[in-house]
């Protein structure tokens, strides 16, 4: 059969190409940028491997761990054991291995009501971790109970300013009053799934395995998925000062939902569904110093509301001099248009208010994600059904991405596998090709 054309060389797009190859189906990946990995890319810069997005994985992720085994990647590093949160102008520890009741200082900072709310919420997420996802019926029960109002409506002020803001900043680059509880519950359930690690040498080793022997066309900017009479007929590609159309009958879109929305004409209910998705922008700074800037026992700091710096952590426990500053949240959006030097200065000055930086910076890289990471929508299960129903009206089009099964790497791979499964089921000769 003709190759399937995939838009986007992030984890979802690379995963889709990999799962197609396992079925004997060829593919072509179109990537606007000049590197693979998307918002989880690993870039070589000044002799360092700089991961510019999600980098940690869980031992409880079956698809991601299957790739590690397939690519013979067996050297890992432990993730930092916890966070320090700025609460009441102090650094308060939240250790992943402890229950809230075992961390009395955090419990005192949250107050009795906040401590009980947090314990109950995290306890429920851990207890039902295998059933909390965007394909299980349990998530709809959570949506019905919680999603009538944002996170901030349901919990105490101290909890919203502390641990829950930690979750909202990490999972959506947003504030607790901008996200909804079902997304937080889905994210928190990950704390109950295995142990968390990073790939030694950088996540690029996984991207290299996925990209091997694939037809990847960097700098190929798709401007339209061309359709006729309800089916895909081609891709319009920007070329020089004009465009050209590549004929194709099968396309997998592996770009963010708001990007896909601009590429194809969907029925009205589908346009409404895709428009309900929210993406929040951020910038991520990798910096290497000539000495560690954290102190003993502190590896990661979540900053307070109103701070342009959402989060900063040591990139690896064994390289404490390499840190990642993440400018995210409402206050960060006021400064994201600043140039790189200004962003670096803002990050370092904000960090120094908590831990003075006495080391000298040796290397730095600024990555901007203006398209943001997906904050989903309240009652997302219904939104997702409408998105998939809209895509079903266009024969030959399938979708994968961070907005379908959770924006972890495992979620992206799951969405890719499901897209390939749907596409293979709709191609009459797919079984013959695979055989």
pLDDT confidence of residue 395: 97
Chain segment 381-390, per-residue pLDDT in tens = 999 999 999 9
Which fold is adopted by the domain 78-196+278-375? Polyamine Oxidase; Chain A, domain 2 (3.90.660)
Task: Give the confidence band of 79 by pLDDT, cuts at 50, 70, 90.
Answer: confident
Chain segment 399-426, per-residue pLDDT in tens = 999 999 988 999 999 999 999 999 988 6
Query: What is the mean pLDDT of the segment spanning 3-20?
Result: 98
Residue 94 bridge partners (DSSP):
83
Task: Give the confidence band of 81 by pLDDT, cuts at 50, 70, 90.
Answer: confident
pLDDT confidence of residue 224: 97
- Other CB atoms within 10 A of residue 424 CB: 19
Query: What is the mean pLDDT of the segment spanning 216-231?
Result: 96
Min mean pLDDT across 65-69, 101-105, 121-125, 378-382 is at: 101-105
- Other CB atoms within 10 A of residue 297 CB: 9
pLDDT confidence of residue 135: 82
Architecture of the CATH domain 4-74+201-276+377-434: 3-Layer(bba) Sandwich (3.50)
pTM as predicted: 0.93
Per-domain residue ranges of the chain: 4-74+201-276+377-434, 78-196+278-375
Chain segment 297-327, per-residue pLDDT in tens = 899 999 999 999 999 999 888 889 999 999 9
Chain segment 142-183, per-residue pLDDT in tens = 999 999 999 999 999 999 999 999 999 999 999 999 999 999
pLDDT at 216 over 60: yes
Strands (E), 328-402: 361-376, 397-399
Strands (E), 240-328: 242-247, 251-253, 278-289, 300-302, 311-316, 319-327
* Alpha carbon distance 322, 75 (integer Å): 19
* Alpha carbon distance 105, 111 (integer Å): 10
* Alpha carbon distance 31, 13 (integer Å): 9
């Amino acid at each position: 059969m003709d190759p399937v054309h995939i838009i986007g060389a992030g984890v979802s797009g690379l995963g889709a190409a990999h799962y197609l190859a396992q079925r004997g189906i060829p593919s072509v990946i179109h990537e606007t940028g000049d590197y693979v990995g998307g918002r989880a890319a690993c870039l070589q810069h000044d002799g360092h491997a700089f991961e510019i997005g999600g980098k940690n994985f869980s031992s409880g992720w079956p698809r991601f761990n299957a790739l590690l085994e397939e690519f013979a990647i067996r050297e890992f590093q432990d993730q930092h054991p916890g966070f320090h949160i700025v609460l009441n102008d102090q650094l308060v520890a939240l250790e992943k291995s402890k229950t809230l009741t075992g961390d009395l200082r955090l419990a005192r900072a949250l107050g009795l009501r906040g401590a009980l709310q947090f314990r109950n919420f995290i306890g429920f997420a851990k207890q039902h971790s295998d059933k909390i996802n965007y394909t299980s019926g349990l998530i709809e029960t959570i949506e019905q109970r919680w999603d009538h109002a944002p996170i901030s409506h349901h919990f105490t002020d101290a909890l919203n300013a502390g641990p829950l803001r930690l979750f909202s900043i990490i999972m959506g680059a947003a504030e607790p009053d901008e996200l909804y509880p079902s997304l937080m519950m889905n994210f928190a359930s990950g704390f109950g799934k295995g142990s968390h690690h990073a790939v030694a040498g950088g996540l690029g080793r996984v991207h290299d395995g996925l990209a091997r022997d694939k037809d990847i066309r960097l700098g190929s900017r798709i401007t339209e998925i061309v359709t006729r009479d309800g089916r895909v007929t081609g891709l319009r590609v920007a070329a020089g000062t004009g465009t050209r159309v590549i004929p194709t009958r099968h396309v997998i879109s592996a770009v963010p939902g708001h990007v896909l929305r601009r590429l194809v004409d969907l029925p009205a209910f589908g346009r409404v569904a895709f428009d309900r998705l929210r993406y929040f922008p951020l910038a991520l700074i990798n910096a290497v110093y000539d000495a560690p800037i954290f102190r003993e026992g502190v590896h990661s700091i979540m900053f307070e509301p109103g701070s342009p710096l959402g989060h900063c952590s040591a990139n690896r426990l064994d390289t404490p001099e390499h840190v990642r500053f993440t400018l995210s949240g409402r206050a960060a959006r006021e400064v994201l248009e600043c140039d790189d030097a200004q962003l670096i200065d803002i990050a370092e000055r904000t960090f120094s208010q908590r831990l003075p930086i006495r080391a000298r910076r040796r290397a730095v890289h600024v990555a901007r994600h203006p398209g943001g990471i997906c904050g989903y929508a309240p009652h997302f299960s219904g939104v997702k059904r409408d998105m998939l129903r809209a895509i079903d009206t266009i024969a030959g089009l399938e979708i994968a991405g961070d907005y379908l099964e959770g924006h972890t790497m495992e979620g992206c791979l799951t969405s890719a596998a499901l897209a390939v499964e749907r596409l293979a089921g709709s191609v009459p000769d797919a079984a013959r090709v695979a055989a």
